[in-house]
Amino acid sequence: MPVYKLTYFNLGALAEPIRWAFKLAEVDFEDERIEREDWPALKKSGRFPSENMPLLEIDGEVFTQSSAILRYLGNKFGLTVDDEIQRLRLDQVIDITTDVRPSFRAYFFEADPEKKEKARLTIVNEVVPLYLRQIEGIVIKTDGPYIAGSKLTYGDLSLTAALNVWIGVGVITEAQLQEAYPATAKLREAVLNVPQIKAWLEVRPKTTF
Amino acid sequence: MPVYKLTYFNLGALAEPIRWAFKLAEVDFEDERIEREDWPALKKSGRFPSENMPLLEIDGEVFTQSSAILRYLGNKFGLTVDDEIQRLRLDQVIDITTDVRPSFRAYFFEADPEKKEKARLTIVNEVVPLYLRQIEGIVIKTDGPYIAGSKLTYGDLSLTAALNVWIGVGVITEAQLQEAYPATAKLREAVLNVPQIKAWLEVRPKTTF
């Protein structure tokens, strides 16, 4: 078995679905967490080719890009499906949640309170509905609970982790998700109740999102 | 064989590697091109779930997200590799070029000439070098010319199409690419000289990028 080392902030966010994949496969990995105040110095240290995280080292070889890493582990650990159209849907869902990130970043890093609230309202009223409508439209193509029906895949892990961030930063509530996007809410519930993930959620470091 | 219909602006950009995949596989597809002035009305027509393009219809089912679509066709048409680590590298390269897009958009849609030039200089001096260094680091892991060595894959198509956009919008020249990122330049040359792609480049509609 290769030696895996995952490096990220002390957050769920982009690293969390990767951690879940390891937990589901019951494969050991080092879960290195960088404190926010140490990041500016580390960022330019040469250890991080993209000057961002997460980073996965596999037997010492460095890989970046959380979605590429998650898909790799998902394929390796059997968290995928054979059907090509269903795999296209997994990747489509991942890329839809990725498209949302620039608006989230613009909001998160905005210092001016008035502009920040304006950015938040754009996300709440325009961005989240546009993207969640697409996701709901994909999720309802099977009887669920997952994107590929009864088979849990890396796409469900990615989506659930993204939804947790959206809920964590306050752009949608669990009740609103349940009300407006019931199939997506049901998928998230199912993922969070998978025994290995449920057990991890109880012991993982407590962070805002 | 399914019926494929690809819809995009009359541009290369995000749809171009998808078109190349069809050409390489010698599979017919409808190449619908929307004129820029028609887009505002069409965008909200209900035909475009993500209110953006490209869109691929497969036997009438609508799929969005260019990278997911390209990976699907790449797998279907044999434009991939068996080795999982090499596949991870393909996906990593695609996601690296995707990360660049928000800065490009900020530049492209900036109306103020002074701000636009500032945005361009940030891309030229910071964004492009940071991302091309990563890409070159991945490409040189094999003897080339492609990311997975001698095997042409969807990752090479995506990267070459991205490089064509970067060159087309003027944030790097072919000579600069050749000078600073020789393995990446060699990969692009190899892709553009594949007979089916070369033939397509001669007959395709002429657009800026």
B135 & B38 share domain: no
Same domain (yes/no): A28, A59:
yes
Pair (A45, A107) in one structural domain: no
Q: Which segment of A63-72, A145-154, A166-175, B97-106 scores lowest on mean pLDDT?
A: B97-106
What is the pLDDT, as a whole number, of residue B105? 85
Q: Are residues B43 and B88 in the same domain?
A: no
pLDDT-wise least confident of A169-178, B103-112, B178-187: B103-112
- Per-residue pLDDT, averaged over A194-206, amounts to 97
Q: Which residue reads 């997952």 in tokens? A: A146
> Which residue in the set B69, B88, B98 is minimally distant from A63, CB to CB?
B88
Structural domain contains residue B172: yes
**A14 & A41 share domain:** yes
Residues A61 and A131 in one domain: no
Inter-residue contact A93 to A74 (CB < 8 Å): no
Check whether A49 has a pLDDT greater than 90. yes
Distance of CA A190 to the CA centre of its chain: 15
Let me know if residue A208 belongs to a domain. no
- Is B70 part of any domain? yes
Domain holding B47, by residue range, is 4-77+196-203
Q: Are residues A68 and A88 in the same domain?
A: no
* CA B167 to each of CA A53, B98, B184, B194: distance values in angstroms, whole numbers, following the listed order: 28, 16, 13, 20
3-state secondary structure at position A72: helix
- Do B60 and B108 have their domain in common? no
Percentage of residues of chain A with pLDDT beyond 70:
100
Q: Give the model confidence (pLDDT) of B48-84 as tens digits.
A: 999 999 999 999 999 999 999 999 999 999 999 999 9
Q: Could you tell me if A112 and A154 lie in one domain?
A: yes
ipTM (interface pTM): 0.96
pLDDT in tens, B75-103: 999 999 999 999 999 999 999 999 999 88
HSE, CB side, 13 Å, CA atoms: give it for residue A150.
0
Answer yes or no: is A109 within a domain: yes
Same domain (yes/no): A153, A68? no
Across the interface, do B134 and A85 touch by the CB < 8 Å criterion?
no
Query: Out of A51, A61, A92, whose CB is closest to B130?
Result: A51
Is A84 in contact with B76 (Cβ distance < 8 A)? yes
A97 and A62 within one domain = no
Residues A74 and A116 in one domain: no
Residue A148 lies in a domain: yes
Mean of the pLDDT values across residues B25-29? Answer: 98
Give the type of residue at B202: E
Contact (CB, 8 A) for A203 and A163:
no
Query: Does residue A79 contact residue A21 with C-beta atoms inside 8 Å?
Result: yes
Structural domains of chain B, count: 2
Q: What is the CATH number of the domain that holds B100?
A: 1.20.1050.10
Question: B95 vs A134: CB contact, 8 Å cut-off?
Answer: no
The predicted model gives A60-74 an average pLDDT of: 98
Model confidence at A9, pLDDT cuts 50, 70, 90, reads very high
Chain A interface residues (partner B, CB cutoff 8 A): 49-51, 58, 61, 63-65, 67-69, 71-72, 75-76, 84-85, 87-88, 91-92, 94-96, 98-99, 102, 130-131, 133-134, 137
Does any domain span residue B209?
A: no
Q: Is the dihedral of CA A185, A190, A196, A198 positive or negative?
A: positive
Model confidence at A12, pLDDT cuts 50, 70, 90, reads very high
* Nearest one of B90, B83, B156 to A67, comparing CA atoms: B90
CATH number for the domain harbouring residue B62: 3.40.30.10
Residue B22 lies in a domain: yes
CA distance A98 to B68: 12
> What count of other Cβ atoms lies within 10 Å of the Cβ of residue B17?
29
B180 within domain boundaries? yes
pLDDT tens track for B137-194:
999 999 999 999 999 999 999 999 999 999 998 899 999 999 999 999 999 999 999 9
Yes or no, beta carbons of A58 and B96 under 8 Å apart? no
Which residues in A lie closer than 8 A to residue B76 (C-beta atoms)?
84
Chain segment A76-114, per-residue pLDDT in tens: 999 999 999 999 999 999 999 999 998 888 888 899 999
Tell me: pLDDT of A1 over 90: no
